[in-house]
Amino acid sequence: MTGSPLTYWDYVKLDVIHNLQSERQTECYDEVMFIAVHQHFEFWFAQVIRDLRESIRRLNLTPPDLATATALLHRCNVELALATQGFEVMKTLTRESFLAFRGALQHTSGLQSVQLTVIELLVGRTPDTLYHHLIDGPGMRDFLAKYGGPDGLLAQVIRETERTGNLRRAYDRVVGQPPVNPAHLAALQRELVALDRQLAGWRRRHAETAAKVLGRDFGESAGTVGNTRSCRENLEIGKRHTRRYFADLEAVVGNIPTGDPPMTTTRIATDQAPAAIGPYAQAVRVGEFLFTSGQIPLDPVTMTVVGDDVATQTRQVLHNLAAVVRAAGGDLSDVIKTTVFLKDMNDFQAMNEVYATFFPGEPPARSTVEVARLPKDVRVEIECVAVISRRTIG
């Protein structure tokens, strides 16, 4: 330590942080929030990269330091979970507000996080599986010009992993050098699987958020700025090329006792969705399974029906359903089955168009039935089943 003790604001560089959002490109009020959320992503990505490198170093020691490496990977999972919460803030953007400043951003800018790609390389992605060259448009060409050349950051990280190994190779080295304490190995495997799930889930949450904010623009081509593919198509490329680096450990981790009581039952209640008005819970979580009650298009505050048409009502129903799933610790990407009740099957197409924007990636199973009447004579009611895995497993 050198010099005098620092003040809090100097230590965390508060003035620098305060000014980081000052270079906005428009007068749109929400642009500052948009910038701040993406800086939030990148701050946490930088910390995850630092902890991943140290985890790999610890696993490469002789003998490997499993306890410290596992603790650092647990921290990585907490950091990624915190970063992912930024999508919940992003979902509060309206389409109109986003379009007011979207023109200041290159198309495909949402896939230009080089730090996220560095994380994937450190975990186990190999150079031959990089996919950025498949995405059309000047945005990704600029990204590759900045980071993809022989002296660019991606090439530097690839050389680093060739020299010191990635997380997958470090784990394989550990199990190839017995004896290893079984309890320590089990804890390490749980964190590796949790990390794998979080990285795979990132693309889903990104696509879900973009679909919600952009609405109909999500599936339209941005050819006016030199791109032939839509936002949906480019994000699908990213999702299709997402890798599971520790999928082989899923079954192993499923058989490791966690010490938790089997099938614990928890009743879910949140003021972000309409309150239960009878002898029922908004949802019940049993272990990792979540079973929701049916949601109708009620405003959670006024408890009045929102909208007369099925499109408006479907949107409110799915906002309510998402709030209940979030209160249980998940999001709509965790939903595996929905049941849609319609007052009139002629409303199916209008309902389906709105529904698709809430499940843009891999949609859950679904049943849709016409019923004689619904509570408060609304046009639609939806319930769901979700599987909410532990975000981090300690």
**Domains along the chain?**
8-254 (1.20.58.480), 265-387 (3.30.1330.40)
Average pLDDT, the chain: 86
Rounded CA separation 85/74 (Å): 17
Burial of 124 (0-12, 13-18, 19+ CB in 10 A): buried
- One-letter amino acid of 47: Q
Q: Is 80 exceeded by the pLDDT of residue 296?
A: yes
User: β-strands 335-342, 365-370: how paired?
Assistant: parallel
Q: 385 to each of 154, 228, 289, 381, how far by Cα in Å?
A: 40, 37, 7, 14
The residue that leads in pLDDT, 115 or 101, is 115
The pLDDT of 4-9, averaged and rounded, is 86
User: 351 pLDDT exceeds 50?
Assistant: yes
**Could you tell me the pLDDT band of residue 1, with boundaries at 50, 70 and 90?**
low
Output DSSP code: residue 26. Answer: S
User: What is the SS3 assignment for 340?
Assistant: strand
Q: Give this prediction's pTM.
A: 0.68
Assess contact for 93 and 213: CB atoms under 8 A. Answer: yes
User: Strand order of the sheet with strand 289-292?
Assistant: 265-268, 283-286, 289-292, 380-387, 335-342, 365-370
Average pLDDT over residues 77-94: 90
Amino acid, single-letter form, for residue 241: H
3-state secondary structure of 393: coil
**What integer pLDDT is reported at residue 242 of this predicted model?**
76
φ, ψ at 329 (rounded to 5°): 100, 10
Whole-angstrom Cα distance, residue 306 to residue 177?
62
Residue-wise pLDDT tens digits, 104-133: 777 666 677 899 999 999 999 998 888 887
The per-residue pLDDT for range 169-198, each reduced to its tens digit, is 999 999 988 778 888 898 999 999 999 888
Taking only the tens place, the pLDDT of each residue in 361-376 is 789 999 999 999 999 9
Q: Which of 220-229, 290-299, 329-338 has the lowest mean pLDDT?
A: 220-229
Task: Tell me how crowded residue 165 is: count the other CB atoms within 10 A of its CB.
Answer: 19
Distance CA 204, CA 208 (A): 6
